[in-house]
Amino acid sequence: MSPAFTIRQLVATEEQKKSLAGLESITGLKAAEEALAKAFADDLFTATVNGKKEAGGDTTYVGPFWTTTVLCGLLGGEVYVAETADEEKKIVGCAVWFPPKHSMYDTKEEQDFVLGPLMSSFSPELQEWWGEKFLPQYDALNDATLGPGVKHASWHLQTIGVDPAYQRKGAARQFIDTVHRKAAAQGESLVTECAKEINVRVDNALHFDLVLSKAKVGVVEKPTTHDYQDTFVGVNGYLEFPMWVLRRGPKD
């Protein structure tokens, strides 16, 4: 049976990378934003990091928020979209990867065109939460599980989302396999995080394994899914979400 989707890379020209307007002119970017908006419409993580008091409701912020990761991917990583394998070629999903030695926000362009405007759109309180709580805890979780520097030396799946109407049809597997092939050829691993337990099972099916905090190795004899997670509490304690770190080796 032929795949239901074709995977295509979105690439920014050097001229487009010179400005936010140039990046936003890339064909397919708006369609990718719409797919991500649907994929994360009721997402607890998205609501929490945007300082919301609840998930759902007014979700007009969802697509623009996830598009910031796509813009970073165009500048310093790789961006792929899933298109229906018919004449319409509708974009129904998007994945953002950062290759070894690259991380989101680590270039001046990402900071100027993406991170700066994103932070400016937040309240001072939310900016402080990102800078003093969320990002430090996020980095500490990856170091505590994978080990210092391991994430930066691996292919990192920053974002993956598929329009719910097109889920469970193989798009996620195609996104993963596309990059795993090139990573495996270089002996490099894939790493990612997820903030929904159901996505842990999806990632397990795609050959990712949960990574336990080094402090728990040898202490927790038969770890459950709960033992692998860390919990992030949002600004003012309005919301909280779990997070797991997963890894897929080059031979997995």
**pLDDT tens string 31-85:** 999 999 999 999 999 999 999 999 988 999 999 999 999 999 999 999 999 999 9
200 within 8 A of 135, measured Cβ to Cβ: no
Rounded CA separation 193/210 (Å)? 9
Query: Which residues does the chain have with pLDDT short of 70?
Result: 1
* The pLDDT of residue 1: 61
Rounded CA separation 152/99 (Å)? 8
R_g of the chain, CA atoms, integer Å: 18
Sign of the Cα torsion 75, 174, 92, 118 reads negative
Rounded CA separation 99/97 (Å)? 6
Residues 6+ apart with CB under 8 A from 122: 50, 51, 130
Tell me the CA end-to-end span of the chain in Å, nearest whole number: 24
